[in-house]
Each structure stands twice: as C-alpha cells, then as structure tokens.
Amino acid sequence: MKKFVFIYTYGCQMNVHDSEKMLGTLAQEGYTAATVPEKADLIIFNTCAIREKAEHKFYSQLGRIKHLKKSNPLLKIAVAGCVAQDSRQKVMKRAPHVDFVLGPQNLHVVGNLQTSKRNLYVDENPDIAYQEYAMHRESATRAWVSIMYGCNNFCSYCIVPYTRGREVSRPSSSIVAEIKGLKERGYREVTLLGQNVNSYRSDIDFVGLLRQIDRIGLERVRFVTSHPRDLSTALIDALVELPTLCNNLHLPLQSGADAILQAMNRKYTYAEYCEKIGLIRGKIPSVTLSTDIIIGFPGESESDFEQTVKAIKEIEFDGMFAFKYSKRKGTRACEMADQVPESVKAERLNRLLMIQEDIVLKRNRALVGSVQEILIEGASETDPSMLMGRTRSNKIVTLDHNGAPEGAVLNVIIEKARHHSLHGKELS
C-alpha cells in the first residue's frame, strides 16, 4: 500500500536541504510526498530555532494538526530540526500527539520511524560527515550540496552550535562524487552548504575543494555561508581564477559598531571587514555582495545603530537580510543586560530597510543596458507570462516567456531596474 509523508519546512537553506534528504530516505521506504497534511501517514515538522518567530509558527501549526490523529489513528507525527534538538523535552511534554523527536544529526533514522515507539533521537552522531543520503531534490537543475555540518564559532546570539553541534566536514571524495553525479543528471548549478564554509577542512581545505569542484565543469558554483574572519586571500583569488565560481558573496556583517561586534563574539572589526570588501571589489569589480544584520542586539545604543547605518551606506550591499535581535535561551546574549525594547528595534529595522531599498535600486539601475547571462528557473511566480532567471551575480531577472525551459542559459540585455529584480530581453 502507498504511504504518504507531508513535511513542513521552516528556516534556512540547511533545513530545506535536510527536508530533501528526509524525503529521499522515505522514498526508499515507499513514501510519496503528500500535497496536504490531511492525506499523510507521517507528518514531519522540520523546525528552526534561530528566531522566536519561527519557533512560535511551528508550535501553532503543530497545535492546528492535532485533530488529524482522531480521524487517522495510525498517523505518526515527528519533529525534526533545531527546535527538536534544543527543546526536545518541552516538545514531548507540550505536545503528547508528537511521536518522534529527531535532531539535525539524526535524520538518517527517519526511514524507520513507522515501526518505532514514541522516542527521542537526539544523540551526537560522530558519523554525520560520512552519512550518504538518497535525495529528493526540489529542482532538476539547481542543487544544494552539504559540505560540512555544525559550527565552532559561538557567536553570542546564536543557537546553532548547540543544536547542530561542532564543525565536521564531509570527505572531499564524497562531495566531488555527488556533484559529478548531479552533472551527469543534467544539473547546471550547485550551492555548497555549511554554517561556515570557509573553515571546511578534510583531506583538503575549502579552496582545494573549490578547485576540485571547478574541474567537474558545471555551469555555476555558489557557496553559503562565509564568516568574514575566515575569508582568506586565497579564497578571493579562487573567485577570480575559477570560471565556474559565481561573482557573488554572502558575507554577514551583523553590525557596523565594533563594540557590538565584540559583544557578539564575531572576532573582526568593521575596518577589517571593509578591508576584505575592498580586496574583493578590487579584484572582481562585478561582484555582488549580500549581508545579514541584527538590529537591537543587547546594549545597541542609537550611536551604535548609526554606525550600522553608516556601514550600509558606505558598502552599498546588493542584498541585506536584516532582523530584530531575538533572545535564544542558552546563548550568552540572552543573559545580557540592556536588552533593547521591541519598539526601538522595530523603528530601527524600518529605518534601515528604507535606506537599503534605495541602495538596491541604485545598484540595479547601474545594470540597465548591460548584457547578463541568465540561468532560467521557470515561469515567474507572480506573472506566469514571464520567465524568471538569475544572473551569475544572483540578481533576479524577468523576461517575456519565450518557451525556454528550466536550466536554459540565455544572454539578456537589461532594460529595466526594480527594487527586487531586473527586467530584460533575450539577445538574438
């Protein structure tokens, strides 16, 4: 008999990819993805603990599906991801309808859940770097590839080192074999995933790994996330030299104020960050940069915030993900005095977003008239009469639908700049 699974995925790319791993593993056990939770024999919540909001969203959704067990007594419910690891007892106590809790290092057990009793799978898994997964990938042309797990940095606001454990890197041979397999199946782009890819280290370092991957000859290679402290000159040189690497870098700044960076335990100053940005832009003038900013970290004064505003204006990022600081129990920042009131955080966040909107529009306008190579991702979600693709620098571009399939690479002349995308025409 056919079995169905429904997965709710919250949070970062790491979680999106973990859901692909769970779906792939379950497909080997005869499961198919259900379109709605009502049709599932197994419901999995792949949770995120980075911010309080994502956690609340999960708990309220978990409450909303409770009644499904009445109509289907054989239904099993599992909670995976960072909340599962961090709040395992709380989840089991608060939601007796949950059957299983599995932390990010224990995804491989997902295939055996249906036969198991109510249980917690949250032990450290020293073999996680050697675990091979069947994957059920969302896209047929662009793939996520995990290269390492965990983080050693202990930024004072972040829960990840407690939920995903210490850094461990996958062997390069296994990563290279996975990417070769993807190329053979027609994939055009991979994004290498890790909390801090710059500190990848197995038999080779990250730059060595990039060189090996470049030789496979995919159309495009990207990676997230880089820690500014670990961004080396050798990596910048690799971005210049290796043709498959895209001219785009996500480099979380978090704050423009040195006192706040220190309290965050980020281990770089704003001047050091700028030095690296200068080096990258000097060597790759077409590079696009995106960043993360935390607003209202404990102790952030108006003048600290003004330094972040100044940094955003000086650097002119192409993209910014800014969030209000969210207290995470168990982290050092959670215990810090001088927590910033919510209303102040909200006002500062709005101010920063408005400034950044103008910067993005200005940077997008500078591309009008240029020719960009676009990798087509499919019909535009907002207007199906349009195609949507991305430049090598990760800008979204729309163009009139000309029948080009997902994965096609087109040269497009940019005609219009918007706040969040560009519009262009294919060059004949």
Whole-angstrom distance, CA of residue 76 vs CA of residue 99: 6
- Please report, as residue ranges, which positions from 380 to 419 form the binding site for ligand SF4 (by CB under 6 A): none
Is 151 near ligand SF4 (CB under 6 A)? yes
CB of 252 to ligand SF4, least distance (A): 7
CB of 158 to ligand SF4, least distance (A): 3
Q: Please say which residue, 136 or 227, places its beta carbon nearer to ligand SF4.
A: 227
Answer for which of 158, 209, 236, 417 binds ligand SF4 (CB under 6 A) is 158
Q: What is the DSSP letter of 171?
A: P
Whole-angstrom distance, CA of residue 252 vs CA of residue 77: 35
- Tell which residue, 256, 260, 232, 231, has the closest CA to residue 333: 260
Q: Please say which residue, 146 or 195, places its beta carbon nearer to ligand SF4.
A: 195
Is 135 near ligand SF4 (CB under 6 A)? no
Binding mask 189-208 toward ligand SF4 (x if CB under 6 A, else -) reads ------xx------------
Q: Which stretch binds ligand SF4 (CB under 6 A): 105-113, 156-164, 171-179, 183-191?
A: 156-164
Q: Please say which residue, 249 or 375, places its beta carbon nearer to ligand SF4.
A: 249
- Tell which residue, 299, 297, 313, has the closest CA to residue 351: 313
Whole-angstrom distance, CA of residue 107 vs CA of residue 84: 11
Whole-angstrom distance, CA of residue 77 vs CA of residue 27: 17
CB of 201 to ligand SF4, least distance (A): 15
Rg (CA), the chain: 22
Answer for which of 44, 83, 160, 261 binds ligand SF4 (CB under 6 A) is 160
Are the CB atoms for 171 and 127 separated by under 8 Å?
Answer: no
- Tell which residue, 221, 125, 197, has the closest CA to residue 164: 125
Q: Checking phi first, is residue 70 left (phi over 0); if not, alpha (psi -120 to 50) or beta?
A: alpha
Whole-angstrom distance, CA of residue 287 vs CA of residue 245: 11
5 forms bridges with which residues in the sheet? 33, 42
Q: Which stretch binds ligand SF4 (CB under 6 A): 73-81, 147-155, 179-187, 269-277?
A: 147-155
Answer for which of 153, 331, 356, 372 binds ligand SF4 (CB under 6 A) is 153
Is 44 near ligand SF4 (CB under 6 A)? no
Q: Please say which residue, 101 or 158, places its beta carbon nearer to ligand SF4.
A: 158
Number of residues that bind ligand SF4 (CB under 6 A): 10
CB of 176 to ligand SF4, least distance (A): 25
C-alpha neighbours within 13 Å on the C-beta side of residue 277: 22
Interface ranges with ligand SF4 (CB under 6 A): 151, 153-155, 158, 160-161, 195-196, 227
